[in-house]
């Protein structure tokens, strides 16, 4: 049984650092802004940039910025859904496949969030990755 270190839930909602830019045909908003500033700086004063073209470029820059904000909001929303979904599994019976193909099941006693993703802890202390779960059932009430 491998025990992964827990990750605070709040860190799941923090924005991820931007991926390093990769060479290619894509330009980020910083590169776009630098090009726009350079264009304005080095334009010919006797033939300034067409105002309609300048407004179109500014609108494109705004669109890129807003799309990045929307992507961050969607990521945060998906993370929240994952947190709520995992926490709703506590008290339920889950089944999962081990690496050798055998199926095990147990009642979920806790949920944890690690850098590798959400994990469920079943009654015997086994930690199961959410991706390994094959079924979820309501745990029958214990007749007393």
pTM of the model: 0.52
Q: pLDDT value at position 93?
A: 93
67: left (phi over 0), alpha (psi -120 to 50) or beta: alpha
Q: Which CATH number fits domain 89-137: 3.30.450.40, 3.90.1150.10, 3.40.50.800, 2.30.30.30?
A: 2.30.30.30
Q: pLDDT value at position 105?
A: 92
The whole-number mean pLDDT for each consecutive block of 10 residues of the chain, a chain of 144 residues, reads 54 54 59 78 75 79 87 88 86 90 91 84 90 86 58
Q: pLDDT value at position 109?
A: 94
First to last CA, the chain: 33
Give the residue extent of every domain in the chain.
52-87, 89-137
Q: pLDDT value at position 112?
A: 87
Residues in contact with 137: Cβ distance below 8 Å, sequence separation at least 6, in sequence order? 92, 93, 94, 95
Q: Structure tokens of 62?
A: 């705004």
Q: pLDDT value at position 108?
A: 94
**119 exposed, middle or buried (CB, 10 Å; 0-12, 13-18, 19+)?**
buried
Q: pLDDT value at position 104?
A: 92
């Amino acid at each position: 049984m491998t025990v992964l270190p827990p990750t605070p839930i709040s860190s799941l909602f923090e924005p991820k650092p931007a991926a390093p830019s990769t060479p290619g045909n894509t330009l980020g908003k910083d590169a776009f802004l630098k090009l726009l500033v350079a264009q304005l700086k080095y334009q010919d004063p006797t033939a300034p940039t067409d105002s309609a073209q300048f407004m179109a470029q500014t609108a494109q820059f705004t669109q890129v910025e807003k799309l990045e904000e929307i992507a961050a909001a969607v990521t945060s929303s998906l993370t929240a859904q994952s947190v709520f979904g995992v926490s709703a599994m506590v008290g339920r019976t889950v089944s999962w496949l081990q690496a050798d193909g055998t199926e095990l099941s147990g009642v979920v006693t806790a949920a944890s969030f690690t850098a590798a993703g959400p994990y469920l802890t079943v009654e015997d202390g086994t930690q199961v990755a959410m991706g390994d779960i094959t079924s979820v059932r309501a745990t029958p009430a214990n007749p007393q």
